[in-house]
Amino acid sequence: MPDSPAPARTRPADAALNTGLGRVLLFVYGVFALSASARALVQIATHFSEARLAYLLSAVAGLVYISATIGLAIGGERGRLIALVSCSIELLGVLIVGTLSIADAVAFPDDTVWSHYGSGYGYVPLVLPFIGLWWIYRHRPRN
Amino acid sequence: MNGPLSVATIVVALVLAAWLLLRAALNRAPSRFDLLATAVLGALVAVLVLVAVVGLFGDHRPSDTATFGGYLITTIAFAPVAIYLARMEPTRWGNLILGVACLVLPVLVLRLQQIASVTVA
């Protein structure tokens, strides 16, 4: 690395939404945005008629992850609002789809990111919105 | 896709992940060594992807070629993106980004193996 100033080890209290742990979240959300939407794209393109509901929810999940990633990347008041809405929908989505996929297995013959509370993805989809919302809450604007 | 190269990649990635997560837990920012080690892993992954791409022109093409290609692109881009983000984040969180990347890479390699094992005759 060229001679950059000595890295700060502690975060200032007013640090931005998209630094620190926020940057880790940005990375993880980006990965999920990519994998969820790619999965939905493949499902809809190759065998949409098999489980329309599941594949549409797959696409919705992809869009939610994309908007959460964008919100975390923009930061600031607007980015925070986008991320807040996305993470809330994400939390509802993983809980509702997770429950539905167990209760009504017929409608979900093929897995989505949120099926079985994200067990196919190491339950990361279940944990992620909680961390995201906590991080967004910590960065609420103070007057 | 199922050779010693992918086993080596998975082992290196997991060892590096443990190291980087430890560094993050100890509140250390990514050092030159941390970034270089991740870059070396990235190079290893790049070789693996190249071998897989060459294999696409052989006799045992995976039947789900589009998905396989998508995974290949994701896999080769993974370490560089993580290094790019980690360099913007000279705190413990930079090491966490690198560590997470090193945890996801073995999953990607395993998925590639899965997809590659279903071939068109």
A102 and chain B: CB distance < 8 Å anywhere?
no
What is the ipTM metric for this complex?
A: 0.91
Distance from CA of A83 to the nearest CA of B (A): 19
pLDDT of residue B1: 66
> Collapsing DSSP states into helix, strand and coil, what is residue B62?
strand
Query: Contact at 8 Å (CB) between A72 and A18?
Result: yes
What is the 3-state composition of chain A as percent helix, strand, coil, each rounded to the nearest 5? 70, 0, 30
How would residue A27 be classed by pLDDT, with cut points 50, 70 and 90?
A: very high
Q: Are the Cβ atoms of B89 and A38 closer than 8 angstroms?
A: no
How would residue A142 be classed by pLDDT, with cut points 50, 70 and 90?
A: confident
Tokens of A59: 């696409």
Q: Which of B32, B67, B93 sits opposite A20 (nearest CB)?
A: B93
Q: Are the Cβ atoms of A9 and B27 closer than 8 angstroms?
A: yes
Q: Decide if pLDDT at A32 tops 60.
A: yes
pLDDT of residue B121: 55
Q: Decide if pLDDT at A9 tops 60.
A: no
Give the model confidence (pLDDT) of A101-133 as tens digits.
Answer: 888 877 776 678 888 898 888 899 999 999 999
Read off the pLDDT of each residue in B13-30 and give the average, rounded to a whole number. 96
Distance from CA of B63 to the nearest CA of A (A): 13
Q: Are the Cβ atoms of A21 and B96 closer than 8 angstroms?
A: yes
Q: Strand ranges (DSSP E) for chain A?
A: none
Q: Which domains does chain B have, with CATH numbers?
A: 4-117 (1.20.120)
Q: Which residue of B has its CA nearest to A6?
A: B90
Q: Which of B74, B96, B104 sits opposite A24 (nearest CB)?
A: B96
Q: Which residues of B touch A42 (CB under 8 A)?
A: 66-67, 70
Domain ranges of chain A: 21-138
> Collapsing DSSP states into helix, strand and coil, what is residue B89?
coil
Read off the pLDDT of each residue in B66-85 and give the average, rounded to a whole number. 93
Long-range CB contacts (within 8 A, 24+) of A75-82: A75/A16, A75/A17, A75/A18, A75/A22, A76/A16, A76/A17, A77/A141, A79/A17, A79/A18, A80/A17, A80/A136, A80/A139, A80/A140, A80/A141
- More confidently predicted of B117 and A27: A27
Q: Which residue of B has its CA nearest to A22?
A: B93
